[in-house]
Structure 1
Amino acid sequence: MSPSFIRIPAPRAAAMLREHRRGESAELALFDSRDRTSFDRGHIEGARFLSDANFGEIISTLPRSTPVLIYCFRGNASQTWAGMFADFRFGEVYSVDGGYDALAAALTLPETAPFPSTKSTSQALGSFLAARGFSGSDIDAAGEHGLTPLMHAAWRGEEALLRELLSLGASPLSRNADGNTALWLACVGANGACVRALAEAGVLLDSRNDTGATALMYCASSGKADMLALLLSLGADPLVRNFDDARAVDLCSTLDCLKLLRHTADLPLAAG
């Protein structure tokens, strides 16, 4: 079998770090693969700067049995580095989806709760979970297409169930198979109450998926002017650009969306 690495959502990476800091897992090597200036400006406690210049020294001194956890800006470059560690026969290598911002945010949230028992959930939530095949020990367990219970609730506009899941410890930072958080799914469902609840819970408004798109870009491109206006009012950044250097204003599919974003058309591009 060829060497491989594992992509993990930021909440699970945060749980790994907490376990290590509590001494529950003796070995863990955490690496920051962003540029040196960004690293010096701020990094996750315990992280070691990773670059082409020191990679050789790292792999020559770090035992291959040590679990390796790598983050970058958004979760893309870290996959390249993770593949390199795997190529050098490190047996347990993880790349953090969402990168530094997602991991830093996950570390500020309460620890992920175990999957709620039927005694701790409402009848409505219990039925909702059972109908979608969720059970086990992880409230952020991912089902088909990487969708968590929170994402299902957001997608279907089930505000009460979404708030109950959040109160039970469900993470608003988890990402599905396309790199989207529950915020994107709430926008797909066009439910403003769910969007507000997720914002209150600490969701990253400018989280970019695997193509570099934000929820704001999705709303602009799909003509969801009401959702677009709501995200802007909550502080979503209209100057973020996707991997094709397009901003939300460049993706507008309706005049109403363009009117909401036209003031950004001539502003400088936000930093990558």
Structure 2
Amino acid sequence: MKWTQVSIEEAEQMLENHDVLLLDMRDHLSYLAGHHRRAIHLNDMNLKALLKHTARSVPVLIYCYHGHRSQDMAQLFSDFGFTSCYSLKGGYEAWYPEFCMAERELSDELIEWQLWNHFDPENLDHRADNNETALMRLCREGNADLALELVEAGATLQLINEDGNNALWMAVQSGNELLVEALLRAGTPIDQQNDNGATVLMLAMTMDMPVMVRLLLASGANTELTTVDGFRAEDAAVSKRVLNQLKGWNSYQPQQSRAA
């Protein structure tokens, strides 16, 4: 696999896609003095975790001081199986004068929540315990308003925690169907499999949530994925009502296809 060098203009176009993981590999003091608001500070402490717990399909854009060391880091991510790796030409020094990303200002309520919960308001993808981001925490709490404000501001949707779960997993856990719908519309991966191979559909089956199961099926959830132990979504059903949702959907799909 090969990394790609991109210009400032190309980088800004890439960042219109909320899924891009932006990494700043300068020293800590330089990062604190100024950085792109979506950038995660890449260092020896979190490099291993990022390589292990970030989905390989997530595009990774890296910048350093002048655009040299970031090339080696982009190659490293590529060697670890990441399919889209980019190094910023000219680095932060070339980009800084044009740092006028038209991103939405965060509300006082969201900033207060971030500070209270020890998240950095200037880093939308800042990690806390268990590699959890602010978006994951808000989804776990079922706080749709602040979670979706973070999504609109540019929080990365494809990040996962130490267990391999993304924000959608937490939203399903909360039982907030409107939040789940909004995350799916925004492009959050529906078939992300965690370290055990479980998906959000399996989670909803386990939690006995027939409405959520129907929502996930209608949104394209894959019913054939298996856990590391070989279990599928139907094996996770804890009641007939969720199992009937799944079986009813599966039996309807072929008829729908023949009708088409």
Match of 2:230 in 1: 245
Match of 1:120 in 2: 105
Deviation, 1:136, is: 6.2
Q: Distance in 1 between matches of 2:71 and 2:203?
A: 42
Match of 1:224 in 2: 209
| Corresponding residue to 1:214 among 192, 199, 202 | 199
* Structure 2 spans left out of the alignment, 5+ residues: 1-46, 86-98, 254-260
Q: Distance in 2 between matches of 1:125 and 1:15?
A: 26
Q: Distance in 1 between matches of 2:135 and 2:163?
A: 16
- Preserved contact between residue 216 and residue 248 of structure 1 (Cα < 8 Å): yes
Match of 2:49 in 1: 7
Q: Distance in 1 between matches of 2:192 and 2:137?
A: 18
SS state at 2:202 partner: helix
Q: RMSD of the alignment, in Å?
A: 3.1
Deviation, 1:11, is: 9.1
What is the TM-score when the length of structure 1 is the normalising length?
0.60
Q: Distance in 1 between matches of 2:223 and 2:180?
A: 17
| Deviation beyond 6 Å, 4+ runs, structure 1 | none
SS state at 1:6 partner: helix
- Preserved contact between residue 213 and residue 246 of structure 2 (Cα < 8 Å): no
Residue deviations 1:21-56, cap 9 Å, x none? x945232464xxxxxxxxxxxxxxxxxxxxxxxxxx
Letter in 1 for 2:59: A
SS state at 1:141 partner: coil
State the percentage of identical aligned residues. 28
SS state at 1:125 partner: helix
Q: Distance in 2 between matches of 1:143 and 1:190?
A: 23
Q: Residues 136, 162 of structure 1: CA spacing in aligned structure 2 closer, same or farther, 3 A cutoff?
A: closer
Q: Residues 69, 137 of structure 1: CA spacing in aligned structure 2 closer, same or farther, 3 A cutoff?
A: farther
What is the TM-score when the length of structure 2 is the normalising length?
0.62
1:183 to 2:153 alignment: no
Letter in 1 for 2:123: D
Q: Residues 70, 226 of structure 1: CA spacing in aligned structure 2 closer, same or farther, 3 A cutoff?
A: farther
Deviation, 1:70, is: 3.7
| Corresponding residue to 1:133 among 89, 97, 118 | 118
